[in-house]
């Protein structure tokens, strides 16, 4: 029989090829892939660079749609644009969370970048930014335009022709919005806006923009947030969607990842500062504190920095060209670094907002210092719960947390508000001092509308000006308890890894050894019936003019000794059961009942 040499060769070659494919390891999936939805996004890999181009242009806005968006360690996602682009908006539609442990940068324009993934977003410890303008990351299901009349939807089709101008709001059209966790160093140029907005938001890393605005905000499902100033998140107005609005043509097929799955499910990066322990509890490792998987929780355990650094006088130009430096010594380049500062420029500190239904600062450091004016820090709400930022129901600040809104040289100290509509438990440290050369002290309010537990320290002094004001204004104010024993207050408020004395004992199977492990603390499980607002000793140590303002009653059960002025204002009665002594200084006592 005649042999078909060509046929034999073809079969042999095919066998070799198939065998090689079977033996080869599976191809590594691309971390960034465009969605096949007509948006026109393309992603081209060049070594460790992923160049993102195409998309859909609408006015000065450029829209991208991704099936997956992840940035592994030592890799870079480049958004390539043209100079006429003002805003870049990207959505992730595939239903998987985004894990970012490399660099995100914008090239070709001074564009703002908005990244939306309803499933969840995590920034690992190596995550960083090189963005010329502002950056907003959200797990919303839509970004609004034209006063929220039109929406860039996270799922489905969009009419991009209507999506022009600056974004005007965010919509969370799910019952449990996705979480955002940051462990990285997310830094922007001076005067910009950095926003983390999701269901549960946890920052254990570093957020910074000198003289700019940083917002960490957590919202519950079925909410719409309106941006009061286009392009900025200085103020947020929250409204609840009704049943009709919750649908509104959207088909949300994504189920956001639970916080536990977000922390442990990433191939690119897994959280180390927030872990899931053997009991299935989510714990902040730095403070051994429990984190609930509850939409609306905003937790800051790292640092937020919007300060204007006190650099030496710059001789090469005007003040708008003062060189700034990051903590690692790298120069921050900007032709006019302070022209968009949080307080309108003039070398004042920026603004920090930490907002949610429940807000906690745990071993955190917030810096809003300024050369010629301290900045603004809002934790849980604005002054007396007014304004249009959402108010928390519970606010907790532990004893290892520090907030600074000082003026460095000339000018008044800044403004710091710690607020909740329910219970505020404050054991932290606040400084809003006047300048070293001139200026008055700043303004600090610490309060819970229903209840305040105060065991912290506040300094609004001024070296060459008038002291600032410290306002404590819950429903009722009690100085000292009925037995004049304030130590229970201290024990109730101090939460840190080194001072946690709660423990549980575990016996090994051979009963030969026992190990003692710390039990994580729930920062929001505080005594709702605590009688003590503040101890007399603590009150006497405050540096500034103190105002105790109660809707109902003020009761003094311990002797107060202070060199500051003390003003007591009560809606009903003032009950003084102990002395108030300001003879050690130049303070005054004013009673208004």
Q: Note whether residue 446 is domain-resident.
A: no
When pLDDT is averaged across residues 46-52 and rounded to a whole number, the result is 96
Q: What is the three-class DSSP state of 539?
A: helix
Q: What is the CATH number of the domain that holds 224?
A: 2.160.20.10
Q: How many structural domains compose the chain?
A: 2
Alpha-carbon gap, residue 361 to 355, rounded angstroms: 11
Q: Note whether residue 570 is domain-resident.
A: yes
Domain final position from 236, 265, 294: 265
Alpha-carbon gap, residue 330 to 315, rounded angstroms: 20
- Specify the pLDDT at position 496: 33
Q: Note whether residue 232 is domain-resident.
A: yes
Among 231-235, 537-541, 563-567, the minimum mean pLDDT is found in 231-235
pLDDT tens for each residue of 122-170: 999 999 999 999 999 999 999 999 988 999 999 999 999 999 999 999 9
Q: Note whether residue 168 is domain-resident.
A: yes
Predicted TM-score of the model (pTM)? 0.84
Q: Which residues contact 437 (CB under 8 A, 6 or more apart)?
A: 409, 410, 463, 464
Q: Note whether residue 369 is domain-resident.
A: no
pLDDT tens for each residue of 304-359: 999 997 543 333 333 333 333 333 333 333 333 333 333 444 699 999 999 999 99
When pLDDT is averaged across residues 400-428 and rounded to a whole number, the result is 96
Q: Which two tokens stand for residue 405?
A: 């809104």
Are 102 and 269 in contact by the 8 Å Cβ rule? The answer is: no
Nearest residue to 375 (alpha-carbon basis) of 460, 304, 306 = 306
- Specify the pLDDT at position 252: 61
Among 117-126, 248-257, 423-432, 455-464, the minimum mean pLDDT is found in 248-257
- The range of the structural domain enclosing residue 567 comes to 530-593
Does the pLDDT at position 14 exceed 50?
Answer: no
Q: What is the three-class DSSP state of 353?
A: strand
Among 45-54, 290-299, 306-315, the minimum mean pLDDT is found in 306-315
Domain final position from 204, 230, 265: 265
Domain final position from 231, 265, 299: 265
Nearest residue to 28 (alpha-carbon basis) of 265, 268, 270 = 268
Q: Note whether residue 325 is domain-resident.
A: no
| 506 DSSP β-pair partners | 515
Q: Note whether residue 578 is domain-resident.
A: yes
- Specify the pLDDT at position 278: 75
Phi-psi region of 83 (alpha: psi -120 to 50; beta: other; left: phi over 0): alpha
Q: Note whether residue 209 is domain-resident.
A: yes
- Specify the pLDDT at position 235: 53
Alpha-carbon gap, residue 473 to 471, rounded angstroms: 6
Alpha-carbon gap, residue 496 to 400, rounded angstroms: 7
Alpha-carbon gap, residue 152 to 55, rounded angstroms: 14
Q: Residue 8: phi, psi to the nearest 5? A: -65, -40
| DSSP H or E stretch at residue 9 | helix 5-23
Q: Which two tokens stand for residue 398?
A: 């532990």
Sign of the C-alpha dihedral computed for residues 322, 135, 300 and 143 taken in this order: positive
Does the pLDDT at position 375 exceed 90?
Answer: yes
Are 581 and 561 in contact by the 8 Å Cβ rule? The answer is: yes
Nearest residue to 139 (alpha-carbon basis) of 187, 168, 171, 105 = 171
- Specify the pLDDT at position 340: 36
Phi-psi region of 399 (alpha: psi -120 to 50; beta: other; left: phi over 0): alpha
């Amino acid at each position: 029989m005649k042999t078909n040499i060509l046929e034999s060769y073809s079969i042999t070659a095919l066998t070799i090829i198939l065998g090689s494919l079977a033996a080869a390891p599976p191809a590594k999936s691309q971390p960034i892939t465009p969605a096949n939805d007509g948006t026109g996004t393309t992603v081209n890999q060049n070594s460790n660079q992923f160049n993102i181009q195409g998309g859909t242009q609408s006015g000065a806005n450029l829209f991208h749609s991704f099936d997956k968006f992840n940035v592994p360690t030592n890799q870079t996602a480049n958004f390539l644009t043209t100079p006429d682009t003002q805003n870049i908006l990207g959505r992730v539609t595939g239903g998987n969370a985004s894990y970012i442990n490399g660099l995100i940068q914008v090239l070709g324009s001074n564009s703002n970048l908005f990244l939306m993934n309803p499933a969840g977003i995590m920034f690992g410890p190596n995550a960083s930014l090189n963005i010329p303008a502002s950056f907003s990351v959200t797990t919303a299901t839509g970004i609004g335009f034209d006063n929220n009349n039109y929406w860039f939807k996270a799922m489905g089709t969009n009419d991009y022709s209507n999506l022009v101008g600056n974004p005007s709001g965010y919509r969370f059209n799910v019952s449990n919005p996705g979480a955002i966790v940051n462990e990285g160093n997310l830094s922007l140029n001076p005067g910009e806006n950095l926003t983390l907005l999701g269901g549960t938001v946890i920052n254990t890393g570093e957020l910074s923009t000198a003289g700019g605005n940083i917002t960490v905000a957590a919202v519950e499902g079925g909410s719409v947030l309106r941006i009061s100033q286009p392009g900025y998140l200085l103020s947020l107005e929250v409204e609840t969607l009704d049943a009709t609005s919750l649908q509104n043509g959207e088909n949300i097929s994504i189920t956001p990842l639970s916080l536990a799955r977000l922390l442990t499910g990433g191939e690119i990066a897994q959280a180390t500062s927030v872990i899931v322990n053997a009991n299935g509890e989510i714990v902040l490792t730095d403070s051994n504190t429990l984190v609930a998987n509850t939409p609306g929780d905003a937790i800051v355990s790292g640092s937020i920095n919007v300060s204007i650094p006190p650099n030496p006088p710059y001789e090469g130009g005007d003040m708008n060209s003062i060189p700034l430096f990051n903590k690692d010594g790298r120069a921050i380049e900007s032709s006019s670094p302070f022209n968009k500062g949080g307080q309108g420029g003039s070398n004042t500190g920026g603004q920090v907002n930490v907002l949610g239904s429940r807000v906690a600062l745990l071993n955190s450091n917030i810096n809003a210092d300024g050369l010629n004016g301290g900045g603004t820090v809002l934790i849980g709400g604005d002054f007396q719960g007014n304004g249009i930022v959402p108010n928390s129901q519970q606010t907790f600040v532990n004893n290892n947390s520090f907030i600074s809104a000082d003026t460095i040289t000339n000018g008044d100290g800044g403004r710091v508000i710690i607020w909740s509509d329910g219970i505020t438990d404050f054991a932290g440290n606040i400084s809003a001092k006047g300048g070293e050369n001139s200026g008055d002290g700043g303004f600090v309010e610490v309060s819970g509308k229903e209840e305040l537990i105060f065991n912290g320290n506040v300094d609004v002094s001024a070296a060459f000006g008038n002291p600032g004001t410290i306002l404590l204004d819950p429903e009722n104010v009690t100085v000292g308890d009925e037995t004049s024993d304030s130590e229970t207050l201290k024990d109730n408020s101090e939460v840190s890894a080194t001072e946690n004395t709660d423990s549980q004992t575990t016996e090994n199977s051979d009963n030969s050894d026992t190990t003692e492990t710390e039990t994580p603390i729930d920062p929001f499980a505080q005594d709702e019936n605590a009688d003590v607002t503040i101890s007399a000793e603590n009150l006497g140590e405050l540096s500034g003019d103190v105002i105790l303002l109660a809707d109902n009653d003020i009761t003094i059960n311990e002797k107060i000794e202070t060199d500051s002025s003390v003003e007591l204002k009560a809606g009903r009665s003032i009950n003084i059961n102990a002395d108030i002594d300001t003879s050690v200084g130049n303070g005054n006592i004013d009673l208004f009942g």
